[in-house]
Amino acid sequence: MENLERDEPLTPAGRMFVSSEMNQIINCVIAGENPIDIEAVRAEVSNSLLVKHPRFCSLLVKDSSGREHWRRTVVDVDRHLIVRHDTLSDIPLVSDEVAVNEYLADLSVSSPLGTDKPLWEIHLLMAYNSAVFRVHHALGDGISLMSMFLSCCRRADDPAMRPTIGGVGAGASAMLERSWDFWTLLKVAWYTFVYVLEFILRGLWLKDRSTPLSGGDGVELWPRKLATARFQLDDMKTVKRAVADATINDVLFGVVSSGLSRYLDIRSPKALQGLRFTGVAMVNLRPQPGLQDVSKLMSSDLGTQWGNKFGMILLPVHYHKGGSNPLEFVKRAKAMIDKKKLSLEAICSYKIGDFIMSFFGTKVASILNYRIVCNTTFTISNIVGPREEITIVGNPIKYMRVSSTSLPHAITLHMVSYAGRADMQILVAKDIIPDPGVLAKCFEDVLLEMKEAAEAASRT
């Protein structure tokens, strides 16, 4: 009885992420410049906020009626540190990054987190100076977890300082605080109605047309491959300046739209003109955009609290053959995203999920969420990381990249920016997309072409 009094029920979002349909683990890889000091890592973890946060110190348990709860326990850090001294690939001359990506691809389908300890672990890949931080999505979203990780880091140029945090633009919930004129209010109402209706229909029967990128029911169990597309943020900013009032997210989605269209040209000999397929994106619902102050996340303020505070939006992609001006992809992406920003789609999707979970239970909510993913083509996320180079336990970080365990999509895209660079992890079902490296090069090439077009436009 004493344990039951201490148990804390999972949030509706947490219950969905531990369901069999949507069981999700976030995998974040951090590569260091120097060899990993195991004792220093153990000491850092033992003294960090990580082992003080209630979610990271709790077991997932079920009560007699099958409802999930968090039960506080004592954390044994050694059980969460998994040290691998061996190399990960038997193939000679494979680069460290490729070997680590292969490891992450295997983790995405074959390695659940055990419930006999809190739902996180750190894999130290000693041969590659890399660490893989694995956290169950029920513990928090990408914003929460990245903010927690950065609380353990220091700036490389000033070890006494923590990394700079913050985001770009306004959080989705900030829309509710705007003052609107009548016509803007009318557009908000119309776009919200149209987009929320489509969102509901996606959970029922509305489905993307089949393409060489399509996944579907059961694809989350298929073997995976992982490739990395590498971008320079300065290139994205050059493109952003060439399109009036554009944002980095507009540029990113223009790159994704163009890159996917180019990849379809390579893979499919059929006529694809008029084809539309759909992405699913997660939108932070906290008032402050981007990374958060961990002390605020751990406060009782419901607007900034720790956990999964995001809504979903649907992002349509229309196939276009590459034309003479690659900036047209960014302009189309901006026009679509501007309409999305005027809607309450993200907030409504969160409220709808919360309502279904509360009144119909985890099973129904998870099935509907699973169907939305099955009926769309890809997932995309973008987290703004630290602006400057950082260190952890004194070891400079070369890169940080994020992926997740498999969804019923054949392709998921996760981008994280860090110190002027942005790396996008492209996780694919390898029997559907056998060459993710080709897709990564499509993304990289179209950004460079957009940059050249932007520079040419600025000279005229």
Amino acid at position 457, single letter: A
Euclidean distance between CA atoms 329 and 261, whole angstroms: 10
Burial of residue 172, with CB atoms counted within 10 A of its CB: 0-12 exposed, 13-18 middle, 19 or more buried? buried
Angle between helices 436-459 and 233-242 (to 10 degrees): 50
Query: By the 8 A CB rule, do 265 and 442 touch?
Result: no
Query: By the 8 A CB rule, do 348 and 192 touch?
Result: yes
Bridge partners for 31 per DSSP:
130, 399
Euclidean distance between CA atoms 125 and 129, whole angstroms: 6
Euclidean distance between CA atoms 225 and 434, whole angstroms: 8
Euclidean distance between CA atoms 412 and 329, whole angstroms: 20
Q: Give the position of tokens 């003479």.
A: 324
Query: By the 8 A CB rule, do 346 and 313 touch?
Result: yes
Amino acid at position 199, single letter: F
Q: In 3D, which of 135, 104, 111 has the Cα closest to residue 122?
A: 135
Active site residues: 137
Query: By the 8 A CB rule, do 311 and 172 touch?
Result: yes
CB contact burial 89-107 (16+ within 10 A = b; e otherwise): eeeeeeebbbbbbbbbbeb
